[in-house]
Structure 1
Amino acid sequence: MSGEIEQRLAALGVTLPQAAAPAANYVPFVRTGSQLFISGQIPMGPNGIEHKGKLGADYGVEQGQVAARLCAINLLAQAKAALGDLDKVVRLVKLVGFVNCTPDFGDQPKVVNGASDFMVEALGEKGRHARSAVGVAALPFGVAVEVEAIFEVS
């Protein structure tokens, strides 16, 4: 039987993908003590990279939120790869969201809400977290959003 978090994901209609391999010289996660640091995840879907573009030019806030949600799904896939069981997550400590945007775009927090809202849906109270939402001039592969996470784990 799957754990509580996997049951929540199933209720949301979410199947975690296979954790993506790193695209450069880094590891996808590092566990040290009771903390799990997960490298930035991009909106990688079943058919490869999705949501390429710039907020404020190619994408609106709602499309950016969909991209951020997909990043969050990939964060949980990495957490499962690291821990074997998502119920070892004590809490999500922090998310950092990077939004590929035009200089005049100011809705980065609304975009990253796509990831934050999903984490609370998936993890319940364990998913409430500290956060930064940062606008950047470009992201790897031209994606619209990248999100990284720090979890407390048992």
Structure 2
Amino acid sequence: MTRTGAKAAIAWLASVAPNPAACRAEWERDPRGVALLPAGRLWDVLIVPGELGHPTLDVLTRLVSRPGPVLAGFGEARMGYFVPPGTAARWVGTGIRGVGRGAWIVVPRPGATVDGARWIVPPDGSGALTDATLLELALHEAAAAMRGGPGGVR
């Protein structure tokens, strides 16, 4: 990520913080810092188990040149896909947790790995998100491939 891209990503993420200027200043002061940010304003997050999340990202990158931001956490045991606001309230999927309005997530500074949390696909500052319909299709294809079903042989 370029320095300009990192600044744009920081500004975009911090814009949802209760005090955006303080959030940006904290990340500038401590590049290994994290912020607790509210979901549901600019984005929701769908949290997928890592064993499904990684193959899903492989499928997504075949469908689009660059998916929206994706976080990995807890030793990559979970992945968080940033999707349009409101997605979490409508999402129905076994084993996938939606984080939307009224919930908060811990976000590392773009370009940093903090306590095992890191950006697999960092935000670029443009506000681009993963399309929920494409994510659902990618999840189905990845799950089928893991089972050795249509779309993949194990």
Q: TM-score range by the shorter chain?
A: under 0.3
The alignment's TM-score, normalised by the length of structure 1, stands at 0.27
Structure index of larger Rg: 2
The alignment's TM-score, normalised by the length of structure 2, stands at 0.27
